[in-house]
Structure 1
Amino acid sequence: MQFRCLPATSATPLGDWSGDTLVLGLLAGDDGQPLLGALEALLGAGLRQRLEQRAFKAKPAEVLAFERVGVEPAAVVVVGLGEAEGFNLDGLRSAVAKAARTAAASGGRHLGLAFPLTSLPAETTPAIAAAAMAEAVRLSLYADQRFRSEAEPKPRPDTVTLIGLDDAADTALSRLGAVCAGVELARELVAAPPNVVTPQALADAALAIAEAYGAELKVLERSDCQALGMGAYLGVAQGSDLPPKFIHLTIRPEGDIQRRVALVGKGLTFDSGGYNLKTGGSQIEMMKYDMGGSAAVLGAARALAELRPAGVEVHVIVAACENMISGGAVHPGDIVTASNGKTIEINNTDAEGRLTLADALIYACKLEPDAVVDLATLTGACVIALGEEIAGLWSTSDALAAALLQSGQMGGESFWRMPLRASYRSGLKSPVADMKNTGPRPGGSITAALFLQDFVTKDLPWAHLDIAGTVWSDKGRGMDPAGATGFGVRTLVQWVQAGATG
C-alpha cells in the first residue's frame, strides 16, 4: 500500500485526483463547506436531497456509500465528522478508519481521501494530519490470518492519496512504515497463542530486530539471572517447564548519545494465576495477552531501530516467563528476594507481573537512564477504573507524565494520570517480610504502582503504564480491528522521537 499527498487546486479541492474510490469527510450543519460543493459537482445537483432521503446527518463516523456504474470514481464514500467545534485528531482517525474499511470492502484499488483539515485545531499541522490519516488506513485494514487453514480474501487498496495536502506533508509519511510495522508486530505477538509465543519466541523476536537493524541483544538465561539475585522474577518462572528469558535489546543512535531511556515490558506469555488459579469468568483463555507490555516495547523497538532518532539510546527490557502450576511452582505464603535485596511475601500468586517487573526495573535503573517507562497488563482494577479505551499512567515526574500524555494524544492512544498516594503504601506491609506483593482490593491499581516504585531508583523519572484494558478489543475500536490492538507502540515512538525524557 503506497501513500502520497496531492495538493488541492483553485478550481477544486479535489485537485487533479483520479481513482476508483473517493472518500470525503463532511461536517454536520455546514452547507457551505468546500467539500460538499465538490461532491455536489461530482454527483450532481440532487446530492443534498439524496443525503436527506438517506437520513445522513454527518454524525461522527456515520458512513454512506454511493456506487456508480461506468464512470470514475466507481464508488464514493461519505463519512460524517460531527460538528466543526468537536472535530479533532481522534475524530479524524476514527472517520478515516471507518471509511477505509467501507471503501476496501467495495474492492477499490486506488483510494482518495479528502477531509476538511482546516477545521482541525490550529496545532494540528498538515504533517500531523497526514500521519494520522495514513496510519488509520493501514492499521484499520490489518488482518491477522496466520492461524487459518485457508486465508479469507481481505481487499486492500494499492495506492492511497491524501487530497488537499502538499508535498511538505510527505515527510510525515516517511516514518509511517516503521511505526505501523511496530504496531503490527505488537499485534501479532499478543494475538498468537501461548504455545507459539513463548519466552523463547519473545527472545527470537528481539533477535530478529537486532539482526535486521543492527541493534545489540543480550539474553540472560536462568543461571545468569540467579547470579544477579533475581529471586522475584525467577520465583514466578519456576513453575513452568519453559525456561525464562531475560531480554535486553539496545538501540544506539548513529551519532553522539545525548540521552538514554529504558522501556520495560511485562512479559508473561501465559498467566494461569499459579496456585491462585484463575477460574470461571477470569478469562484464563485470554491470558496469552498478559505479555502485552513486552509486545508494546518490542513493537516500539522495531520502529525505533529503523527510525534511529538522533541522540537517543534506547534500552528495551523484558523479563519473559510463564506463570504456571507444578510441583515446583511458588506457593502462596512464600518469600522471595529481589535483586536489590528486598524481601517479598507472596500473598497472591496471580499478582506475578509486578514480581517480574521488580527485577526488570532494578536492572533498568542500573543502566543509569534519564527516564524509565514500564508497560504492563498489570491489574483488573485499572480496567474497572478506566475501561477499555484509556490506560492508567502513574509517574514520579510531572514532566515525564506530561510528555507521555502528549505523546499518547499525538499517537491516538489515551492515558489518564493516576495518583501515587503514599498513604496507600501501608496496604503492602507484611508481618514477615519487607512487603507483600498485593494490598487490599480497593485502590488495587494504585498499590500495584506503589509496589513497582519501590524498585525504581529514587529521583529517577519513572512512569508506569497499566494497559490491561487497552491491549485487546473484542469488537474493535477506531483504528483497531477486533483482537490485539498494539496499544502503546505509537506513544513510545512519539515520546522517544520527541526526546522527552522528563
Structure 2
Amino acid sequence: MEIRCSSATARDWTGEALVVGLFSDAPGDSSRDLLKARFGDVLLERMERRRFKAKPGESLVLELLNQQPSTLVLVGLGAAAEFNLEQLRKAAALGAKAAHGSGASSVGLALPLEGLPPVAAASAMAEAVRLILFRDQRFKGEAEPTQPPTQVELLGLPADQLSPCQGAATSSQAICSGVELARELVAAPPNVVTPAALAETAAGIARDFGLQLKVLERADCEALGMGSYLSVAQGSDLPPKFIHLTYVPQGEVKRRLVLVGKGLTFDSGGYNLKTAGSQIEMMKFDMGGSGAVLGAMRAIAELKPAGIEVHMLVAACENMISGGAIHPGAIVTASNGKTIEINNTDAEGRLTLADALVYACKLEPDAVVDLATLTGACVIALGDEIAGLWSPSDCLAQALVQAGEEGGENLWRMPLRASYRAGLKSGLADMKNTGPRPGGSITAALFLQDFVNKEIPWAHMDIAGTVWSDKGRGLDPAGATGFGVRTLVNWVLAGGAA
C-alpha cells in the first residue's frame, strides 16, 4: 500500500473512494459546502434520509453511480472545538476501514487539518490507515480474502510542506512494521512463540538490519548470578533465552538507552496456578513487553536515528509447573545479591525483570525503560485503554507521556510511594516478591526499583490492560494491539530525554 501526501482537495480529487470528515455542530462548514458543490443537493438529502448526524465514530458509505469517485465515505468528527490530532487519527482509521469495506483500490482522505501541525497530521493519518487495516490470518486454514487499497492519498496538506509531510508519512510505515511485528508475536500461540522463537526473531532483525545480537543461555545466566530469573525458568522443559539486541548508530554516540521487555511466553502461574476465570488461556500475551521492545527495535533499526545507541533486553522463559518448578516460600538470590522470598509464583514477571534491570544498569545507560504485562491491579486502576507509568524522573516520565500522545498511546503516571515498600518486607530474606493486594501495581513497581541503579533515570510501564483488545479500539482491530512500540520509537527519535 502506497501512502502519498497531496495538496489536492475533495473538490478535485479523482479516485475510487473519497473519505470526507464532517463536524456535527457546523452545518454550514466548508466540507458540507464542498459536497454540495461537487455532488449536488441530492447528496445532502441522502445524508438526511440516512440520519447521518456526524457524531464521533459515525460513518456513512454512499455509492455514487456513474461518477468518480464511485464511493463516498462520510466520517463523523463530533464537535469542531474538540477536534484534535487524536480525533484526526481516529477519523482516518474509521474512514480507511469503511473505504476498504467497499473494495476500493484507491482512497483519498479529506479530513479537516486547520490548526493542526501538518507533519504530525500526515504521520498520524498514515499510521491510522496502515494499522487499522492490519489482519493476522497466519493460523486460519482458509484465509479470508482481504485486499487493502493499493494507494491512499492524504489530501489538503499545504503545498509548501508536502516534502516533510511525505517524509513523516513514509517514516511512520517503519513504525507500523514494528507494531505489526509486536501484534504477531503477542497473538501467536505459546507453542509457536517460545523463548527460542523470540531469540530467533531478534536474530532476524539483527540479520536484516545489521544489529548486534547476544543470546545468553542458561549456563551464561548462572555465571552472572541471575537466580531470580532462572527460578522462574526452572519449571519449564524449554530453555530460557536472555536476549540482548543492540543498535549502534554511525558516527558519535551521544546517548545510550536500554529497553527492557518482560518475556514470559506462557504463564501458568506456577504452583500458584491460575484458576478458571483467570484467563490462563490468554497467558500467551504475557510476553507483550518483549513484543513491544522487539517491534520498537525493528522500527529503530530501519529508521536509523543518529547519535543514539539502543539496547534491547528480554529475559525470555515460561512459568510452568513440574517437579523442578520453584516452590512458594523458596528464597532466591538475584544478580545484585538481593535475596527474594517467593511468596507467590504467579508474580514471576518481576523476578525475570529484576535480573534484566541489573544487567541493563551495567551497560551504563543514560536511561532505562521497561515494559511489562505485570499486574492485574493496573488493569483495575486504569482499564484497558491506559497504561500505567512509574518513574522517579520527572523529565523521563514527561518525555514518555508526550511520546505516547504523539503515537496515540495513553500513559498515566502513577506514584512510587516509598511507604508502600514496607509491604515487600520479608522476615527471612531481603524482600518478598509481592506485597498486600491494595496498591499492587505500585508495590510491583517498587520491587523493580530495587534492582535499578539510583543514578540512572528509569521508568516502568505496566501494559497489562492495553496489550490486548477483545473488540478492537482506536487504531487496533480486535486482538493484540502492539501497545508500546509507538511510544518507545517516538521517545528514541526525540532524543531519549531523561
Is the TM value for this pair above 0.5?
Answer: yes
Which of 118, 125, 132 aligns to 2:117? It is 125
On the 8 A contact 1:382/1:445 being kept in 2, the answer is: yes
On the 8 A contact 1:15/1:163 being kept in 2, the answer is: no
Which stretch shifts more, 173-182 or 353-362? 173-182
* 1:250 maps to 2:250: no
Shift of 1:69: 2.0
Which of 484, 492, 497 aligns to 1:496? It is 492
1:144 aligns with: 136
Report the secondary structure of 2:41's partner residue. coil
* 1:344 maps to 2:340: yes
Per-residue CA shift, 1:217-254, capped at 9, x if unaligned?
00000000000000000000000000000000000111
1:428 aligns with: 424
* 1:186 maps to 2:182: yes
Which stretch shifts more, 96-105 or 276-285? 96-105
Note the residue ranges of structure 1 that are not aligned, 5 or more in a row: none
1:42 aligns with: 38
Shift of 1:18: 1.0
Report the secondary structure of 1:384's partner residue. helix
CA distance in structure 1 between the partners assigned to 2:497 and 2:267 by the alignment? 32
Report the secondary structure of 1:253's partner residue. coil
Report the secondary structure of 1:270's partner residue. strand
Compute the RMSD of aligned alpha carbons. Answer: 0.9
Letter of the structure 2 residue corresponding to residue 248 of structure 1: H
Which of 106, 111, 118 aligns to 1:115? It is 111
Which of 300, 307, 327 aligns to 1:331? It is 327
Which of 300, 307, 318 aligns to 1:311? It is 307
Q: Aligned ranges for residues 340-489 of structure 1 at < 5 Å? A: 340-489=336-485
Shift of 1:309: 0.5
Report the secondary structure of 2:447's partner residue. helix
Per-residue CA shift, 1:161-184, capped at 9, x if unaligned?
011113131111221221110000
CA distance in structure 1 between the partners assigned to 2:170 and 2:65 by the alignment? 36
1:291 aligns with: 287
Report the secondary structure of 1:117's partner residue. coil
Shift of 1:38: 1.6
Shift of 1:27: 1.1
Shift of 1:308: 0.9
CA distance in structure 2 between the partners assigned to 1:59 and 1:46 by the alignment? 21
Per-residue CA shift, 1:65-90, capped at 9, x if unaligned?
10122221111000000101111111
Which of 171, 175, 181 aligns to 2:171? It is 175
Letter of the structure 2 residue corresponding to residue 2 of structure 1: E
Shift of 1:35: 1.8
CA distance in structure 2 between the partners assigned to 1:501 and 1:363 by the alignment? 21
Per-residue CA shift, 1:3-56, capped at 9, x if unaligned?
111114xxxx32642101000011122133222222122221233333222221
1:231 aligns with: 227
Large movers: runs of 4+ above 6 Å: none
1:154 aligns with: 146
Which stretch shifts more, 149-158 or 382-391? 149-158
Report the secondary structure of 1:405's partner residue. helix
Which stretch shifts more, 267-276 or 61-70? 61-70
CA distance in structure 2 between the partners assigned to 1:498 and 1:327 by the alignment? 48
On the 8 A contact 1:105/1:155 being kept in 2, the answer is: no
On the 8 A contact 2:257/2:496 being kept in 1, the answer is: no
CA distance in structure 2 between the partners assigned to 1:304 and 1:40 by the alignment? 45
Aligned length: 494
Report the secondary structure of 1:295's partner residue. helix
On the 8 A contact 1:6/1:17 being kept in 2, the answer is: no
Shift of 1:275: 0.1
Letter of the structure 2 residue corresponding to residue 42 of structure 1: R
Q: TM-score if structure 1 supplies the norm length? A: 0.97
2:66 aligns with: 70
CA distance in structure 2 between the partners assigned to 1:252 and 1:202 by the alignment? 21
On the 8 A contact 1:376/1:465 being kept in 2, the answer is: yes
CA distance in structure 2 between the partners assigned to 1:372 and 1:460 by the alignment? 7
1:80 aligns with: 76
Per-residue CA shift, 1:328-383, capped at 9, x if unaligned?
00000000000000000000000000000000000000000000000000000000
Shift of 1:501: 2.7
Report the secondary structure of 1:116's partner residue. coil
Which stretch shifts more, 49-58 or 263-272? 49-58
Per-residue CA shift, 1:86-132, capped at 9, x if unaligned?
111111111111121111011000000001110xxx4x411110111
Report the secondary structure of 2:259's partner residue. strand
CA distance in structure 1 between the partners assigned to 2:34 and 2:6 by the alignment? 16
Per-residue CA shift, 1:196-228, capped at 9, x if unaligned?
000000000000000000000000000000000
Note the residue ranges of structure 2 that are not aligned, 5 or more in a row: none
Q: TM-score if structure 2 supplies the norm length? A: 0.98
Which of 26, 29, 33 aligns to 1:30? It is 26
Report the secondary structure of 1:46's partner residue. helix
Which stretch shifts more, 301-310 or 68-77? 68-77
Letter of the structure 2 residue corresponding to residue 77 of structure 1: V
Report the secondary structure of 2:290's partner residue. helix
On the 8 A contact 2:255/2:309 being kept in 1, the answer is: yes
Give percent identity, aligned residues only.
Answer: 69
CA distance in structure 2 between the partners assigned to 1:47 and 1:377 by the alignment? 49
2:237 aligns with: 241
Letter of the structure 1 residue corresponding to residue 146 of structure 2: K
CA distance in structure 1 between the partners assigned to 2:43 and 2:65 by the alignment? 17
On the 8 A contact 2:244/2:311 being kept in 1, the answer is: yes
